[in-house]
Structure 1
Amino acid sequence: MPEKARVVRPITLRDIAREAGVSINTASRALTGKPDVSDKTRRLVQAVADRLDYRPNQLARGLRQRKTATIGVVVADLANPFFAEVAEGIERTAAGEGYSIIVANTEENEERERRAVHTLVERQVDGILIAPTQSSDASIRYLLQRRIPVVLLARFFEHLQVPAVINDDREGARLAVRHLIQRGHRDILYLNGPPYNSSARLRLSGYQDALQEAGIPFRSSLVISTDARAAGGYAAIQQALAAGLPFTAVFCFSDYVSFGAIRALRQARLGIPKDVAVMGYDDIDLAGLVEPALSTVHIAKTRLGQVAARMLMGMMEPSGKQAERVGVTVLAPQLVIRESA
């Protein structure tokens, strides 16, 4: 007769308390880091928990505390190293405070964003960090109506009072274009992101600021909106060349757009920076590895994620700040000059 499989009962908090010779309440407070437990008792309880391989039931704890110790992170394009670095900063900070993260990728699609947000709400995350697609504000309004703590990543809505952590995109663009002008360029093509994107609007303003400072007239014909990916940069350069637009430098909305632009320029047998200088934005790791190494604007991506995570966790505490009082945190950009401009 075959031997019956033995069912192993999960170790419970009651088992830990009995083994350590303390009450269940004391065992719980020792394992959750509460301050009113002596170091000796804490070490004893933790040692017993480790020896018995105790795994707390996070779902049951969440139901009791009305918290799940999870944070939802909704990014616009996880394939873009920019968002990967932001997510890394979030994860490090959240883990340090005992939170896990659930990451969703929208690929800049409004419907995918809506589904991701609703799924995270159904899973009862304690708060959400989101880089919104910005083609609509419906998902953000939904979170506000549900009173779910939310912080925006890298983008913001001017008409909504929602806490956000962003880069100073207007200043970053001004620094980049000013550098190109100082190198003698006056015909500067700007490959911008979608017009509804807040970063795209601010970077366009910075582009215009630098031109105005130098007394160079703004020409709307030298601004082409792209989908903010390499394919968009490639297509935009082809469009500019086919139209016969005069330019000796290209400022790009992102490093990815720059990579596409460089490919198209090379196919047109134009040297970089000899014939056309190229300036990116974001300073992802690949920027320093391409040939020629890309001049760009550095964004503190990991720090952006860290600051946003701390802001959200503060809002999630019972005595946390109200969303309308948190405001927008703006991080300073830094110009990085390499070989392309």
Structure 2
Amino acid sequence: MNIYEKVVDNMEKKRQYNATLKDIAQKTGFTINTVSRALKDKDDISAPTKKLIREAADELGYVRDSIAGSLRTGFTKTIGVILGDVSNPHFSIMIKGIDKQAYKYKYNIIIFNTDEDETVELQSIRSSLSIKVDGIIICPTQKCAFNIDFLERTGIPFVLIGRKINRDRFNFVVMDDEAGGYIAAKHLIDNGHKRILTITGPQYISSAIDRTSGYKRALTENGIKIDNKLICETGIQSGACYKRLKNLIKNNLNFTAIFAFSDMIACEAIYTLNELGLSVPKDISIVGFDNIQEHMLLPVPLDTISAMNTRMPEVAVDVLIKTINTPTAVEKQQ
């Protein structure tokens, strides 16, 4: 038997034995019921007893059988998290916030990346259901209504995050995107800009619709005529802005400032402008959206609107847990 075969053989032998509550009870002298309650952190078990039992469990290599536990309680203590693009720092920050808040409820999360693809989104929903998650937090692609309608028909508790569907029976947690778009445009107007290009997301996405609406309101209130040529709809994934902005500049579109749908699009715009010999903010001013620089350092300082990407995850988890425990609860957090 070679070294590889010996390692595999040892691994197989280890798999054949899993420490049980009975083993811990025999080692500590407590009953199986006491051991079980101590490991579940029940209040009727003293702290010293819990400590002793947990140490014995660790020494024996005891791992709780979550599948067996879920069969007894009906809960897996897991949440499916379905997001559009986990390579985008906005979503990565969101995942961290969801995980941190879920931990407070002793829940684990399972992450699904849809790549903003509705087919992958539906598969992610089905996968979440197949592994019996207790609930789902989802930032929907919004390319079609079927996926969320299907999710609703399953009866599983879920919360929309970052994007909303205006139906009274749906829970969603979003920021005031219309106000955010207004503030961004107003900031640029107050700094003397009238030709403001907005690079926005697809207009089937609720946050893109609302941010564009806020942008338009700011222009109108300040007596600036809305020029549809300055409303540029683009994809929201990496690389989508680059070609579109280069073409706009090549076609001599006149603008002095940009309001970008996200910080990632803003950063892409800065890269594109620099490549074309234009300086930010000397030649073109830019405002982004999401405030990812609150959590990470960017190569250049960026004026940006906070998307509450820390607070939203906390509230989403709170609402979901409440819905899991009281299924009829419906909340809209903005």
Residue 311 of structure 2 is aligned with which of 297, 303, 319? 303
Moved segments of 4+, more than 4 Å: 3-8
Normalised to the residue count of structure 2, the TM-score between the two structures is 0.90
Distance, in Å, in 2 between the alignment partners of 1:288 and 1:209 is 32
Distance, in Å, in 2 between the alignment partners of 1:59 and 1:280 is 45
**Partner AA of 1:197 in structure 2:** I
Secondary structure, counterpart of 1:167 in structure 2: coil
Secondary structure, counterpart of 2:258 in structure 1: strand
Distance, in Å, in 2 between the alignment partners of 1:278 and 1:241 is 15
Distance, in Å, in 2 between the alignment partners of 1:238 and 1:43 is 63
Distance, in Å, in 2 between the alignment partners of 1:267 and 1:42 is 62
Distance, in Å, in 2 between the alignment partners of 1:19 and 1:230 is 56
Distance, in Å, in 1 between the alignment partners of 2:45 and 2:280 is 65
* Stretch of structure 1 that moved more, 16-25 or 160-169: 16-25
Secondary structure, counterpart of 2:290 in structure 1: coil
Q: Is the 8 A contact 2:286 2:302 kept in 1?
A: yes
* Stretch of structure 1 that moved more, 109-118 or 268-277: 268-277
Shift of 1:321: 5.1
Residue 222 of structure 1 is aligned with which of 224, 230, 243? 230
Normalised to the residue count of structure 1, the TM-score between the two structures is 0.88
Residue 290 of structure 1 is aligned with which of 299, 306, 328? 299
Corresponding position of 1:334: none
Q: Once the two structures are aligned, what percentage of the paired residues are identical?
A: 36
Corresponding position of 1:322: 328
Once the two structures are superposed, residues 3-58 of structure 1 have per-residue CA deviations (whole angstroms, 9 ceiling, x without a partner) of 99766621111222333333322221221122233334333322322232211111
Shift of 1:223: 0.3
Residue 201 of structure 1 is aligned with which of 196, 203, 209? 209
Q: Is the 8 A contact 2:93 2:309 kept in 1?
A: yes
Shift of 1:231: 2.1
Secondary structure, counterpart of 2:187 in structure 1: helix
Q: Is the 8 A contact 2:242 2:272 kept in 1?
A: yes
Corresponding position of 1:336: none
Distance, in Å, in 1 between the alignment partners of 2:144 and 2:73 is 34
Q: Is the 8 A contact 2:82 2:137 kept in 1?
A: yes
Shift of 1:141: 1.6
Distance, in Å, in 1 between the alignment partners of 2:169 and 2:284 is 42
Mark the CA change 1:17 to 1:316 in structure 2 (over 3 Å): closer, same or farther. farther
Corresponding position of 1:243: 251
Shift of 1:214: 1.0
Residue 257 of structure 1 is aligned with which of 254, 257, 265? 265
Shift of 1:299: 2.1
Corresponding position of 1:119: 127
Alignment of 1:8-87 (within 5 A): 9-87=17-95
1:155 aligns with 2:197: no
Q: Is the 8 A contact 2:157 2:327 kept in 1?
A: no
Q: Specify every segment of 5 or more residues in structure 1 that has no aligned partner in the other structure, as ranges.
A: 331-341
CA RMSD of aligned residues (A): 2.3
Distance, in Å, in 1 between the alignment partners of 2:324 and 2:232 is 41
Q: Is the 8 A contact 1:76 1:132 kept in 2?
A: yes
